[in-house]
Amino acid sequence: MANLWGGRFTEATDASAYRFNQSISFDKRLYAEDIEGSIAHAKMLAARGIISEADGNEITKGLSGIRQDIDQGKLEISDEAEDIHSFVEAELTKRIGDPGKKLHTGRSRNDQVALDMKLYTRRRIKETDALLYDLQKALLKIIEEECDTYMPGFTHLQKAQPVTLAHHMGAYFEMFLRDRDRLHDIYDRADSCPLGSGALAGTTYDLDREMTASLLGFEGGATRNSMDSVSDRDYLIEYLSALSIIMMHLSRFSEEIIIWNSNEYRFVEIDDRYSTGSSIMPQKKNPDIAELVRGKTGRVYGSLLSLLTTMKGIPLAYDKDMQEDKEQAFDAMDTVSDCLREFTGMMSSISFDRKIMEDSAKKGFTNATDAADYLVKKGVPFRDAHSIVGRLVLKCLDKNIALDDLTLDEFKEESEIFDEGIYDAISLKTCVERRLTKGAPGKEKMAEAVAYYKDYLDKRGDKKWKD
């Protein structure tokens, strides 16, 4: 058992209690952040004369060697240590002797783990943003290619009005745009360094906390209140909240892909690489990736609720409960990353049946509102026009045809106002292209949207972060 404490204890920790208390099994993934923070701390201590320059250099060199050896697989993180902080310090002392014992001067594991978790979360925020960027690129390709692909738009899962596939995909592009904005906001609010806050009340050493913050890339400088610094996990809760919203968007998207993939719709063909078959039914091609994304959404929600519940009753400042901020958070981060990668792969290779989509829009009477508007423009009160077209829809249902298939005489049976112009008025092309309000699926407005999306991706690419 490798501990950073023990002088006031007369008995060793019970082996079972030690295992229950340890966190090395999951916080070892913070090794890079722990070493990065320790190097910055050592450089600051040396600069302030709290330790000698020689000791500072030796510590820095030793820590860099540990990082390199772990990265290259030459050093295995031992589960005998209580946590990653204990492991790194013990390994450092083993390598360089007494100077290694000076590393912990002026800090506590409380501000150390607060720093590690914040650094790790900030890195994962950037990774999530980059994955969303990749997904948006895949969606933009579809948007550009499918501006003339007509399909039904839905409300209540009932066919409502005609739109284009490009317009439908644009709705999800907007969702992921907001997701990325949220990530940038969270990153900015996490832009302050807790190291140097000590256990909760700072330290009597003459630390230069601003120097440490600068070395670690925190543009917001050092945190302002030491008690808040060690007990704050708001940034992590916000990140888990953002991940939950991302999963909600992915789940909605997945639900539509699953529906569109069904035999009843046949709007899409999912690439074989992102489908599976049945062990008993040879005809089956299942949308398992979309279903798993939909299913894993609840898992991510659970991580957010778990951390909120853990934090709700903790008095200031640090309590061991806060060790529970990691396992499920790590799982949520990994889950969302996996879902985004696989979903992007699926959408990059998916194909759409344009004819079936267009036929579905016609037979779903998505042009009924346009037929009513046609009458209104000829002076018929809207409520009367609504009733007339409703009767026409009933007639079509009886004959299993679309509005476009009615003869002019059949139109005139309900209103003499109809003339040959009705066919142009209710064509899907007309229905869509006459919708020219901002945000509508008309070609002109979609061209504006595509230009905006291209500009957005150029300005907010996966490398557009502050260093």
Instruction: Please tell me the number of Cα atoms within 13 Å of 187 on its side-chain side.
Output: 21
β-bridge pairing 158-164 and 268-269: unpaired
How far apart are the C-alpha atoms of 168 and 98, rounded to whole Å?
A: 64
* pLDDT for position 12: 77
* pLDDT for position 284: 86
Q: What is the 3-state secondary structure (H, E, C) of the chain?
A: CECCCCCCCCCCCCHHHHHHHCCHHHHHHHHHHHHHHHHHHHHHHHHCCCCCHHHHHHHHHHHHHHHHHHHCCCCCCCCCECCHHHHHHHHHHHHHCHHHHHCCCCCCHHHHHHHHHHHHHHHHHHHHHHHHHHHHHHHHHHHHHCCCCEEEEEECCEEEEEEEHHHHHHHHHHHHHHHHHHHHHHHHHCCCECCCCCCCCCCCCCCCHHHHHHHCCCCCCECCCHHHHHHCCHHHHHHHHHHHHHHHHHHHHHHHHHHHHCCCCCCEECCHHHCECCCCCCCCCECHHHHHHHHHHHHHHHHHHHHHHHHCCCCCCCCHHHHHHCHHHHHHHHHHHHHHHHHHHHHHHCEECHHHHHHHHHHCCCCHHHHHHHHHCCCCCHHHHHHHHHHHHHHHHHHCCCHHHCCHHHHHHHCCCCCCHHHHHCCHHHHHHCCCCCCCCCHHHHHHHHHHHHHHHHHCCCCCCCC
Q: Are 433 and 427 in contact (CB under 8 A)?
A: no
* pLDDT for position 464: 57
Q: Are 406 and 396 in contact (CB under 8 A)?
A: yes
Token reading at 404: 């476009």
Q: Which residue is associated with the tokens 């037929």?
A: 371
Token reading at 74: 């030459």
Token reading at 301: 């929600």
How far apart are the C-alpha atoms of 425 and 419, rounded to whole Å?
A: 11
pTM, full prediction: 0.93
Task: Show pLDDT as tens, one digit a residue, over the chain (467 residues).
Answer: 456 656 677 677 778 887 888 899 999 999 999 999 999 999 999 999 999 999 999 999 999 999 999 999 999 999 889 999 999 999 999 999 999 999 999 999 999 999 999 999 999 999 999 999 999 999 999 999 999 999 999 999 999 999 999 999 999 999 999 999 999 999 999 999 999 999 999 999 999 999 999 999 999 999 999 999 999 999 999 999 999 999 999 999 999 999 999 999 999 999 999 999 888 988 889 999 999 999 999 999 999 999 999 999 999 999 999 999 999 999 999 999 999 999 999 999 999 999 999 999 999 999 999 999 999 999 999 999 999 999 999 999 999 999 999 999 999 999 999 999 999 999 999 999 999 899 999 999 999 999 999 999 998 875 555 54
Token reading at 391: 């009767």
Q: Are 36 and 119 in contact (CB under 8 A)?
A: yes
Beta-ladder partners of 286:
276
* pLDDT for position 279: 84
Q: Are 352 and 165 in contact (CB under 8 A)?
A: yes
Q: Are 376 and 368 in contact (CB under 8 A)?
A: no
How far apart are the C-alpha atoms of 412 and 417, rounded to whole Å?
A: 7
* pLDDT for position 81: 92
* pLDDT for position 1: 45
Q: Could you give the angle at the alpha carbon of 49 between the alpha carbons of 45 and 50, nearest 5°?
A: 55
Which residues have CB under 8 Å from 255's CB, separation 6+?
A: 290, 294
- Catalytic sites, residue numbers: 156, 278
CA nearest 406: which of 390, 423, 421? 423
Q: Are 210 and 222 in contact (CB under 8 A)?
A: yes
Domains of the chain, with CATH numbers? 15-105 (1.10.275.10), 118-146+164-353 (1.20.200.10), 359-443 (1.10.40.30)
